[in-house]
Amino acid sequence: MNTFAEEFPELALPATGEVFPNPQVLVLNEPLATELGLDPQWLRSPAGIDFLTGQGDCVALGYAGHQFGQFNPRMGDGRALLLSEHTDPHGKNWDIHAKGTGRTPFSRGGDGHYPLDAALKEFAFAESLHALGVPTARSLAVLTTGGTVPRRRLHPGAIGVRVASSHIRIGTFQYAALLGPSVTDRLTRYALARHFPAGSSPLDLFDATVVRQAELVANWMRFGFIHGVMNTDNVAISGETIDFGPCAFMDYFATDTVYSSIDTRGRYAYAQQPAVMMWNLARLAEALVPLVDEGVKKFTERLQRYQPQYGAAWDKAMAAALGAEGCAEQLLGLLEVAAPDYNALLAGLTPGEVPPGLEGIPGAAEWTERWSALDPQPRNPIYLPRNHGLQAALVEAEQGDIGRYLLTLEALRNPYEWDDKYEKLGLHAAVPRAEAEFTTYCGT
């Protein structure tokens, strides 16, 4: 089944996956497969591998996008395929989408391939975000292809298969707008029915999208997550985290933190994420304006709701982190001065004790006293895909030993519970500050 392709042939072009030398399932998310009503044994079978590598009736999705602020009118799935829309046992529809399946009509100069380390990284981050309660696309499987992929060096080739409630992006609406108001209107009605069935107008779609994106970014900020490439083609209408290739969790707190090798000007730095999302939402509004009388005025008014909605979502997220309300702003000021290990500080919050990394910082003792008097009940993760810890697991996996990576996944799926067997994985604390420099790559 593929209702999107059936309804929007202009936005979904037929394509088939490349035939690879020796495709094999390396990591399968069996709990997710079971939730979806998919048979893990079948997914590992030759027929299942054919499905996961795009050997059936698949499509490459078309979309436009602002990439680092510059508009590209025709992008699309250059190395990915929508394999199927799947209905789970509860009647909910999901996209099953594979990356690294080879060239498509949107490939331009790309080879359509995907390095193994990038596929495994996305799997780990998706499982981590899901376990933290952050809306995200989920990884269903990583397959090795038997081939190699030249990037900064030769990598083993892979296919990453993910599941999302849809792959309709802000960039999808930008592409539809270039094709005309009738296409945008049809896409709006389809997106409303799929994601926001209580709505009936473009304004309803925009309102609901604003709320979901405000809540999503607030959760990213609460955990120190940096998406890395918040182009409009990487923002899903559903409010799920998607296309987070050069992502990272912040080690030492700094509002200008950037890890992505391609973000040389800091456009998508940690502190810029809320404002960038508002900018992206303005691009969605531009695509929808022709569908509404006095559209510029009405969408401008609704866009202004984003900031207070983000503020409320941020306050709620930080109240959960600190276990008390009204303490976050002063703490942020202390963090900017001390630049401590951000998530280690949150995980180590203990009433009556100055948070780890703030010892000796002016105002920290006073903050601690005020916070402690509120009888706080903080709840923060111990285990995250820390940069150096995850990288060590990826290196071993590329060399053929996947044991450390699988243990890492186990820890990330249980982020709040200490277990001695995870202690040496490097997931619960940053490396020493002098060694904390790290660069991420998007895996293209």
- Nearest Cα to Cα of residue 4 among 209, 203, 169, 197: 169
**Radius of gyration over every alpha carbon of the chain, rounded to an integer in angstroms:** 22
Q: Which residues are annotated as a binding site for Mg(2+)?
A: 234, 243
Q: Which residues are annotated as a binding site?
A: 76, 78-79, 99, 111-112, 162, 169, 234, 243
Cβ atoms of 78 and 57 closer than 8 Å? no
Beta-strand relationship, 154-164 and 138-150: antiparallel
CB atoms within 10 A of CB 182: 10
Cα 403 to Cα 25, 115, 116, 408: the distances in Å are: 15, 19, 15, 9
Active-site residue, from 117, 233, 251, 263? 233
Question: Which residue spans within 69-113 are E strands per DSSP?
Answer: 70-72, 80-87, 93-99
Kindly report the backbone phi and psi dihedral angles of residue 146, in degrees, each rounded to the nearest multiple of 5, phi listed first: 90, -5
Cα 407 to Cα 1, 89, 218, 412, 420: the distances in Å are: 35, 29, 29, 9, 12
Mark whether 233 is an active-site residue: yes
CB atoms within 10 A of CB 373: 11
Q: Which residues are annotated as a binding site for ATP?
A: 76, 78-79, 99, 111-112, 162, 169, 243
Torsion of CA 61, 67, 69, 70, to 10 degrees: -80
CB atoms within 10 A of CB 115: 26
- Nearest Cα to Cα of residue 231 among 25, 65, 98, 44: 65
| DSSP sequence for 137-173 | -EEEEEEEEEEEEESSSEEEEEEEEEEES---BHHHH
Distance in angstroms (rounded) separating the CA atoms of residues 27 and 328: 39
- Nearest Cα to Cα of residue 160 among 353, 256, 352, 23: 23
Cα 284 to Cα 55, 281, 296, 305: the distances in Å are: 34, 5, 12, 15
Burial 41-70 (b: 16+ CB within 10 A, else e): eebbeeebbebbbbbeebbbbbbbbbbeee
Distance in angstroms (rounded) separating the CA atoms of residues 155 and 114: 9
Q: Which residues are catalytic?
A: 233
